[in-house]
Amino acid sequence: MTYIGKSVKRVEDVRFLTGKGRYTDDIKLPGMTHAYIIRSPYAHAKIKSIDTSAAEAMDGVVAVFTGKDVAGVNGVPCGWQVNFKNGDTMKEPPHPLLVADVVKHVGDNVAMVIAESKEIAKDAAELVDIDYEELDAVADAAKAVKDGAPLVHPDAPKNMCFDWELGNPKEEVDAAMESAHHITKLEFINQRVIPNAIEPRAAIGHYESAGDKHTLYTTSQNPHLTRLLMSAFVLGIPEHRVRVVAPDVGGGFGSKIFHYAEEALVTWASRQLNRPVKWTAERSESFMTDAHGRDHVSTAEMGFDAEGNVVGLRVKTLANLGAYLSTFAPCVPTWLHGTLLQGLYTTPKINVDVTGVFTHTTPVDAYRGAGRPEATYLLERLMDTAALEMKMDPAELRLKNFIPAFDGVEQEGYMTQVALQYDSGNYHKVLERALEMVGYEDFRKEQAAARENGKLLGIGFSTYIEACGIAPSAVVGALGARAGLYEVGQVRVQPTGKVSVYTGAHSHGQGHETTFAQVVADKLGIALDDVEIVHGDSESVAFGMGTYGSRSLAVGGSAIVKSIEKIIEKGTKIAAHKLEAAEGDIEFSEGKFTVKGTDKSIGFGDVALTAYVPHDYPAGLEPGLDFSSFYDPANFTYPFGAHIAVVEVDKDTGKVSLKRFIAVDDVGNVINPMIVDGQIHGGLAQGIGQAMFEGAIYDEDGQLINGSYMDYTMPRADDLPSFEIDRTVTPCPHNPLGVKGAGEAGAIGSTPAVVNAVMDALSPFGIKDIEMPLTPERVWRAMQ
Amino acid sequence: MKLKGQHNFKATPAILWEKLMDPDTLARVTPGVSRLERKGDDQFEAIADVKLGPVKGSFTGELSVLEKKEPESFTLNIQQKSKIGNVSADVHIHLKPLSDEETEMSFDGKAKLSGLLARTGQRVLSGVANTLTKQFFSAMEEEVGNNPT
């Protein structure tokens, strides 16, 4: 292997670092107009009137559209259905492109001003006179389900979207809990966070009357899915008349999976005006309108026997979904959360109960980890708290309860109580390695000595599992997905032996152009430079499901491998003909087809040329060397790991300093260790950000009161230690590369490790829980 | 946001009442207010410029005096619009005689903010409100002819 397993430098970085990237906002089309969206300043209000005449009269204004103008266009659909326990379909209220009657969150789209320049559009927007009648609002999920709370949608009583249950029957779990020697109970909020991709969302609609073609350039993680949702469900345009291009995209973290109203609006408006229409979000719009993440209120109880074995787990969660259902919103707190509550433990009885709640806030959907960080937070906070309460060591308590190692080949996958079957795992190994790296025994001595000197040192653990490589279509279909979640990979060998690869996965920071090329170059025995990875354009890539859920390599990479196998199979036929040997005697390695046991061979490039210039060619074989494959995974993949945080808390100010962070992750086989390290680092920063700094705050009127970088704290480099990371390798048994996915691991494992460490540091004060983020003020108040 | 403040004046409730009901005086003493015009018996149109930390805006809108109980209390309803967001508030003002020549003026109310104002200004808002309150009381002292304390 020349490339696989090597830290090849990212080929895309040359263009990113030299300013040659091409992002949606960089695209300028002839005759392009600029849109500005007027957004609701209120969380809940009736639009009494809108007067657009002054704006329309302004020089340079092309059009002003309001809710009335789009009355004939459908709203934005939801891509996942979760039913009520009684079988009723979830409440799925309309999500209009522009609101005509009642706005339901701060930032809700009310009108769109289109002008010759962005500045004119913005100035004209100030002349649009909108008269609102403010109504009572509710931002908090716990308050929204109470009797008498303001209703977000009149046809969703108690603001309930669905209620949902998974696991063992409640009575069985209740009985297990009753038999428990000790029960640890925590009630906590997994606070709402804002994704903050470095590139704000943008979209350009370009209708060309010649050909009746609609092109949408957009900041999307899955252009084909956006095309499907927008063409078939919103605008009703035949799919072959719509092209969606997601060029370079600057980060998504989930927030760019979803089909947003602005994408449909610019496409629709471009057709009305017969001119391209561009919209680019300002940062404050990103804060208000990018789908937010997390926002769960949970009560969790874990029961233990006298020896510390877990006997049961009972979880009740209220999930804030915001004002409308974003594309995958119902799936996140249910099938991506409830199904992960087995964790790494042999818990015999588990019951999870989730209620999805509408509030007058920005829609909530998948954000790095999506449901799995919430599940992990809950389990791992319970574990450390239980250890403290039962006076046991938190690492020992975990090791005692871990599922024994299984490789998914010799030993069967582990069947959980919550619907999933884990593929392969060796959980003791990651924690033991992490303990070794932190020097656990010495640390406890150091901690005791520090306490005597009045210093508050703490250590916190988190051992996690996640379900990635999303996902087997038949499984997710049964769970309510309204799409298949396979991936498409096309490998086109050019006549000269150069290779173009078309993948339905989408890179917005993950480095696919490098990782995928490493796989292709090695499998075909050619140079890395001879491989081009093409993604993000529905016109060049046959189809695709995009990138999220740490799926790109596990699912998208596997599709490419399947196509490479077809290339080699056909190449073998051509080589056998040219070498005058039987097909069965040909072997392919390092870019050469060789007759076994001889020195007779033909290079990959010659075979490619023969395929396109088939003068001397096997009878009955089609010319060309170009194959496409759909790969539908057999199961999710299940990466896992152990994270340890070491913190010091300042007694006088409450400031938490993160001293060390150890992460041992098992993401299966690794193609590019440097890129995986980068993914882990980024994930850790985001997970630590949630623990210590981040959190969207709504006031009682439903106003987002920290919607700017002056008020919303992001983690900075100087808040973080140099991460100490390592890996173990337990290959995935069911995909050809043996990979599991690394995009979300860091964000899933790190958050509870930090909070556990702070609670450990504060254990002399008898403090059991502090609500995230652990700001100096909150920690200081808890100590007083 | 809650609004609250109190101050003792060496003046009778009647004098203070008269000042509070006079648009010209109010325009002078209220920080940021550049114009206050009577629109009806108990209605005024106001133009104000307010700076809240990084956020600056020019507000226009109406003030209405409600629930008048001369000379002891009234409610001021404020509806102001600006490019940076809207403010709506109800403030209850009380005048309580402490002696023949001393009166306590107190107010108590709630303001609702929206838009950019709500998103970016909140962190500094209570500090700004305190400063404005002090400025208001000290300007009022001058109006009733006392040396500012």
Which tens digits make up the pLDDT trace of A475-508? Answer: 899 899 988 999 999 999 999 999 999 999 999 9
In this complex, do B83 and A41 lie within 8 Å of one another by their Cβ atoms? no
pTM for this prediction: 0.94
DSSP codes joined into one string, A157-178: GGGEEEEEEEES-HHHHHHHHH
Which alpha helices (H) appear in A236-342, and where do they start and end?
261-273, 283-289
Residue A150 within a domain: no
Report the CATH number at residue A203: 3.90.1170.50
Smallest CA–CA distance, residue A784 to chain B, in Å, is 23
CA distance A31 to A128: 24
Picking from A631, A661, A690, the residue at the C-terminal end of a domain is A631
Q: If we measure between CA atoms, which residue out of B26, B34, B29 comes closest to residue B50?
A: B34
- Cβ contacts of A676-680, under 8 Å, gap ≥ 24: A676/A727, A676/A742, A677/A725, A678/A511, A679/A510, A679/A742, A679/A743, A679/A745, A679/A746, A680/A723, A680/A725, A680/A742, A680/A745, A680/A746
Q: What is the predicted pLDDT for the residue at B146?
A: 60
- Per-residue model confidence as pLDDT tens digits over A358-403: 999 999 999 999 999 999 999 999 999 999 999 999 999 999 999 9
pLDDT of residue B149: 45
Adjacency order of strands within the sheet including A160-167: A160-167, A350-358, A310-322, A293-304, A182-193
Contact B114 A704 (CB under 8 A): no
CATH number at residue A568: 3.30.365.10
Q: Would residue A164 count as lying in a domain?
A: no
Co-location of A283 and A308 in the same domain: no
Mutate to test the interface with A, among B88, B114, B117 (most CBs of A within 10 A): B114
Which residues have C-beta within 8 Å of that of residue A569, sequence separation ≥ 6? none
Q: Which of B54, B113, B118 sits opposite A710 (nearest CB)?
A: B54
Both A533 and A582 in one domain: the answer is yes
CB contact (8 A) between residue A706 and residue B116? no
Reduced to 3 states (helix: H, G, I; strand: E, B; else coil), residue A520 is helix
CA distances from A501 to A8, A317, A484, A493 (A): 18, 43, 22, 8
Residue A126 is nearest to which of B83, B85, B118, comparing CB atoms? B83
* A135: three-class secondary structure by DSSP: coil
Could you tell me if A756 and A188 are in contact, meaning their C-beta atoms sit under 8 angstroms apart? no
Asked if B119 lies within 8 A of A711 by C-beta distance, the reply is: yes
Distance of CA A350 to the CA centre of its chain: 26
Task: Determine the Cα–Cα distance for residues A396 and A347; give it in Å rounded to an integer.
Answer: 16
Where does the pLDDT of residue A449 fall: very low under 50, low under 70, confident under 90, or very high at 90 and above?
very high
User: Cβ separation of A699 and B88 shorter than 8 Å?
Assistant: no
Within chain A, what is the greatest distance between any pair of CA atoms? 87
Is the distance from CB of A362 to CB of A401 less than 8 angstroms?
no
Mean pLDDT value of segment A766-776: 96
Q: How far, in whole angstroms, is CA B101 from its chain's centroid?
A: 23
Interface of B with A in 69-88 (CB under 8 A): 83, 85-86, 88
Asked if B79 contacts B56 with a C-beta cutoff of 8 angstroms, the reply is: no
Phi/psi of residue A220, nearest 5 degrees: -125, 150
Closest residue in A to B85 (Cα–Cα): A41
Angular region, A339: left φ>0, alpha ψ -120 to 50, beta rest: alpha
- The token pair at A244 is 């969606």
Does the pLDDT value for residue A723 go beyond 60? Answer: yes
- pLDDT at A695 > cutoff 50: yes
Taking any CB pair shorter than 8 Å as contact, residues of chain A touching chain B are 41-42, 106, 126, 134, 284, 287-288, 699, 701, 703-708, 710-711
Give me chain A's average pLDDT, please: 97
Q: In terms of C-beta distances under 8 Å and separation of at least 24 residues, what long-range contacts does B35-38 make, across chains too? A: B36/B63
Which chain A positions have a beta carbon within 8 Å of B123's beta carbon? 706, 710-711
A498: how many CB neighbours lie within 10 A of its CB?
A: 16
Asked if A40 and A113 sit in the same domain, the reply is yes
Looking at chain A, which residue has its C-alpha nearest residue B84?
Answer: A41
Nearest-CA distance A185 → chain B (Å): 34
Residue A431 pLDDT exceeds 80: yes
pLDDT given at position A289: 97
* Within a domain: A121: yes
A702 to chain B: nearest residue by CA? B114
User: Any idea which residue has 């969660």 for tokens?
Assistant: A317
Cβ–Cβ below 8 Å for A706 and B113: no
Kindly report the length of chain B: 149
Which of A587, A604, A631 terminates a domain? The answer is A631
Contact B122 A704 (CB under 8 A): no
Count of domains observed in chain A = 3
What distance in Å separates residue A78's CA from the closest CA in chain B? Answer: 28
| pLDDT tens track for A127-167 | 999 999 999 999 999 999 999 999 999 999 999 999 999 99
Closest CA to A189 of A382, A377, A372, A462: A377
> Both A501 and A613 in a single domain?
yes
Same-domain status, A651 and A767? yes
CA of B44 to nearest chain A CA: how many angstroms apart?
A: 20
Query: What is the average per-residue pLDDT within A274-288?
Result: 97
**Which residues from chain A sit within 8 angstroms of residue B118, using beta carbons?**
41, 106, 699, 701, 703-705
Residue A434 placed within a domain: yes
Report the alpha-carbon distance of residue A733 to residue A320 in Å, rounded.
Answer: 36
* Residue B102 near residue B135, CB atoms below 8 Å: no
Q: How far is A244 from A378, CA to CA, in rounded Å?
A: 39
CB atoms within 10 A of CB A60: 14
Chain B, nearest residue to A132 by Cα? B86
Out of A631, A661, A691, pick the residue that ends a domain: A631
Same domain? For A324 and A391 the reply is yes
In chain A, what are the helix, strand and coil shares in percent, each to the nearest 5?
30, 25, 45
The nearest CA of chain B is from the CA of A202 a distance in Å of: 21
Q: What tokens appear for A763 in the block? A: 């254990």
CA distance A710 to chain B (A): 7
Residue B112: list chain A partners with CB under 8 A: 134, 701
Half-sphere exposure of A171 (CA within 13 A, CB side): 0
Instruction: Find where tokens 């260790």 sit.
Output: A673
Question: What is the domain range of residue A566?
Answer: 486-631
Compute the half-sphere exposure of residue A681: CA atoms within 13 Å on the CB side of its CA: 14
One domain for residues A431 and A569: no
Please judge whether B85 and A134 are an interchain contact, meaning their C-beta atoms are less than 8 angstroms apart. Answer: no
* Cα nearest neighbour of B113 on chain A: A703
Residue stretches of chain B with pLDDT short of 70 = 53, 121, 146-149
CA B57 to chain A, closest CA, distance in angstroms equals 13
At A638 the three-state DSSP class reads coil
Cβ neighbours of residue A461 under 8 Å, at least 6 residues apart? A380, A383, A384, A394, A395, A398, A431, A642, A643, A644, A753, A756
Distance (Å) from the alpha carbon of B1 to chain A's nearest alpha carbon: 9
> pLDDT at residue A304 above 80?
yes
Do the Cβ atoms of A707 and B85 come within 8 Å?
Answer: no
Residues A442 and A503 in one domain: no
* Residue A90 in domain: yes
Set of chain B residues whose Cβ sits within 8 Å of the Cβ of A126: 83
Whether chain A has a CB inside 8 Å of the CB on B113: the answer is yes
Domain at B2-141, CATH from 3.30.530.20, 1.10.560.10, 1.20.1370.20, 3.10.20.30: 3.30.530.20
Residue B121 distance to chain A (closest CA, Å): 8
Q: For residue range A194-208, what is the model confidence (pLDDT) as tens digits?
A: 999 999 999 999 999
Establish if B126 touches chain A: CB-CB under 8 angstroms. Answer: no
Query: Can you give the pLDDT at residue B2?
Result: 85
- DSSP 3-state percent helix, strand, coil across chain B (nearest 5): 30, 50, 25
Nearest CA among A112, A86, A109, A51 for reference residue A266: A112
Q: Domain extents for chain B?
A: 2-141
Asked if the structure places residue A359 within a domain, the reply is: yes
Query: Same domain, yes or no, for A529 and A598?
Result: yes
Cβ neighbours of A127 in B, within 8 Å: none
Tell me the chain A residues in contact with residue B122 when contact means C-beta distances shorter than 8 Å.
699, 705-706, 711
Searching chain A, which residue's CA lies closest to the CA of residue B82? A126
Strand arrangement of the beta sheet that strand A456-465 belongs to: A456-465, A640-649, A656-666, A724-727
Cα–Cα dist A313/A392, whole Å: 19
- Rg of chain A taking only CA atoms, in angstroms: 27
- How confident is the model at residue B23, as a pLDDT? 87
